[in-house]
Chains A and B, each alone.
Chain A
């Protein structure tokens, strides 16, 4: 028997490492193996412990485990009778979360131990690389990727084979391959999951790419906020090199390739490829005009090819199973699968990988279980600061590069943040502009000043100081920034504003004309009061007020000191007597 604890960053944040320690102690000398795996993807059920039988089959999946239950689990497992831990087992309705997915990128995630190359090898690992080095020419590799229809998962969706081909045919002997693991969208964690849960598959995809392009050195640019991902990748690189899947004369062939890790230093714009290259060179991460494209002039002025983590994670599967198999999945223009990081007000948040062509509704409702706490769905945000908000009326949009773009949003890299009726859409636009104006590198005027001005107008509207004509002004400015900005950051920064205006114009009008926030989120437009008739003086609100703005004496009515109140709604949500009003 074997117990496996899901130890991705989110599992650990939920307490998985403590569960592991408790299990280790409870097992003691007993004949039970204990191991770890990466992110299973069901973040809403973490910490998760999988029970495998002696044939390596998954016997039971235990969820929301806490360290105090370790003894019981170990007793049940060693007796072979799991009935005493029946209550910890995953519910049937939650199982649909995985059943409705198609896992290619995440094929090993949550199954193998990410620190063990043998686990990876047992699950078809490095078979594709073996085949490539044994009997495929670089052109054949590129052809196979072309047949698959794989396109870039970093956001823009550019055909991968085309970029590889351009880099292969660019003049010069010194070329570079770069993996973009900057994952800057604040609400996305697909790439982190792959790095933490299946680093060998990234390595395999990268070496195949390096072989196709003809380069000896490759980089992974990882964001600094991902310490565990960096650690697991470093470990995997070391082992892969020891076992000759990486380094000189890989698998005894003539091909040599080294992969280096570079940690980013916290700048969203460095996800943009020319800025990323500047950052790799140790400079300020400022983007530059294209052309020349990196395929002609990239790292150190040499031909370079940049792909996203998820793009690379598809490669070994495609080579192993054939480009045709991959192309069978998806729609005419979007092949294969896409991974989304589902979060926000969703009931079942986590990592979702579905074939292209599924609808947003299927992902959010069938897999994600819809909205938490019985509230209404309002919008889903795709593509982060470069993307947009899609309303309920467009939930049947399919996951396809073109179809999503037609809504005004984008496929993006995979962030999917679900919002309910308590999320203000003007405030959401403001939130993204706060982000982009701060992250603007300052090189070009439309982005540097344009995002600031947009933010000022949005801030004014949220504060109840909006004027007639503000919406039109926003639209005009948005178009100017879109047209004038130098790089993708500025060109897409207006998207959250434009989509919220397009689909939620009434909310803008309510803020501007009626000075009211329909979602009751904008602090300046909401007032909380305690109705002295209904207040029993139970102290529940005052204890929960984070800024200690609620005063009174137990058993008599309390009062809110308005000058201190931050309008967080804690009191409102915790009053058992309906004594708190919100206007």
Chain B
């Protein structure tokens, strides 16, 4: 995807005012920046570099080390599909295949309408309800293919009527 990095950098000035000079807060700054934009735009990385004195290369080094950080925009609904042990044993692969089929995207991709992004995660901590997925912070457990499709369609409907 081509990066349209015309973001409003003023949105992170407050974050930078608070943390730029606090040692050891690079990860916190990146987390808060991602909360603002949903991902880490390149322009923001350069701005963080200017304000913190860390080189852009170092910031990229940290950003690419941690699974949480994204360098691409995400859809309106971020689906975390659990790939932890308990979910694996309870056939989370089947749920993954169902989501891929229903939305036409694989791990890390976003639907063309910009509605859904699919991301695999290690464990959501709801293992006894395996298989589990989380959409924008809300967890759904004991999934079956039917239930998964229903949940995704409910989100679609909500969007259509909004």
| A95: interface (CB < 8 Å) | no
Q: Is B146 an interface residue (CB 8 A)?
A: yes
CB contacts (< 8 Å) of B126 on chain A: these are 9-10, 13, 43, 189
A7 interface hit (Cβ, 8 Å): no
Proximity string of chain A (100-134) to chain B, C-beta cutoff 8 Å, 1 when within and 0 when not:
00000000000000000000000000000000000
A344–B90 CB distance below 8 A = yes
Within 8 A of B (CB), among A264-312: 264-268, 279-285, 300
Query: B72: shortest Cβ distance to chain A, in Å?
Result: 16
Q: Does A419 contact B (CB under 8 A)?
A: yes
> How many B residues touch the partner, as a band?
35 or more
Interface string of A518-555 (1 = CB under 8 A from B): 00000000000000000000000000101110000000
Name which of A183, A185, A417 has the most chain B CB atoms within 10 A of its CB: A417
- If the complex has contacts A225-B123, A283-B62, A546-B97, are A265 and B128 also in contact, measured as CB distance less than 8 A? no
What chain B residues lie within 8 Å of A263 (beta carbons)?
28, 31
Q: Give the residues from 56 to 90 in chain B that come closer than 8 angstroms, CB to CB, to chain A.
A: 61-62, 65-69, 80, 83-86, 88-90
A149 at the B interface (CB under 8 A): no
- Chain A: which residue is nearest B139 at the CB level? A13
Report how far A569 CA is from B83 CA in the complex, Å.
Answer: 18
Question: Across the interface, which residues of A come within 8 angstroms of B132, CB to CB?
Answer: 13
Task: List residues 13-64 of chain B with CB under 8 A from any CB of chain A.
Answer: 23-28, 30-31, 61-62
- Return the contact of A344 from the options B89, B101, B141 (Cβ within 8 A): B89
Q: Is A192 an interface residue (CB 8 A)?
A: yes
Q: Does B83 contact A186, Cβ atoms closer than 8 Å?
A: yes
User: What residue of chain B has the Cβ atom nearest to residue A434's Cβ?
Assistant: B83
Once bound together, how far apart are the Cα atoms of A192 and B123, in whole Å?
Answer: 11
Pairwise interchain contact B123-A547, C-beta atoms closer than 8 A: no
What is the CA–CA distance of A528 and B27 in the complex, to the nearest angstrom? 48
- Report the bound CA distance from A185 to B141 in whole Å: 19
A281 to B123, CA, bound (A): 25
Given contacts A282-B28, A344-B89, contact A184 B97 (CB under 8 A): no
Contact indicator B127/A187 (Cβ below 8 Å): yes
Q: How far is the CA of A268 from the CA of B84 in the complex (A)?
A: 12
The reply on B125 being an interface residue by CB < 8 A is yes
Q: B127 contacts A189, CB within 8 Å?
A: yes
Interface check A423, CB cutoff 8 A: yes
Kindly state the separation between the CA atoms of A274 and B17 in the bound complex, as whole angstroms. 29
Is B66 within 8 A of A343, CB to CB? no
Contact of B139 among A12, A183, A441 (CB under 8 A): A12
B129 at the interface (CB under 8 A from A): yes
Q: Assess A423 versus B89: contact at CB under 8 Å? Given A283-B62, A285-B66.
A: yes
Report the separation of the CA atoms of residues A289 and B97 in the bound assembly, to the nearest whole angstrom: 41
Contact of A570 among B85, B122, B130, B145 (CB under 8 A): B145
In this assembly, does B94 line the interface, its C-beta being within 8 Å of a C-beta of chain A?
yes
- Do A384 and B141 contact each other (CB < 8 Å), given the known contacts A43-B129, A265-B69? no
Q: Which residues in B have their C-beta under 8 angstroms from that of A36?
A: none
Tell whether B106 is near chain A: CB-to-CB under 8 Å. Answer: no
Interface residues of A in 175-192 (CB under 8 A from B): 183-189, 192
Report Cα–Cα, A44/B127, bound state, in Å: 10
Chain A residues lying within 8 Å of B109, measured Cβ to Cβ, are: none
Q: Known A184-B122, A226-B125; judge A10-B141 contact (CB<8 A).
A: yes
Proximity string of chain B (80-119) to chain A, C-beta cutoff 8 Å, 1 when within and 0 when not: 1001111011110110011001000000000000000000
Binding site for B on A (CB under 8 A): 9-10, 12-14, 43-44, 46, 183-189, 192, 224-227, 229, 262-268, 279-285, 300, 341-345, 349-350, 381, 384, 415, 417-419, 423, 431-432, 435, 441, 544, 546-548, 566, 568-570
- Chain B residues in contact with chain A, CB under 8 A? 23-28, 30-31, 61-62, 65-69, 80, 83-86, 88-91, 93-94, 97-98, 101, 121-130, 132, 137, 139-142, 145-146
Closest 7 CB pairs of A and B: A187-B85, A186-B84, A266-B67, A43-B128, A349-B128, A265-B66, A13-B139
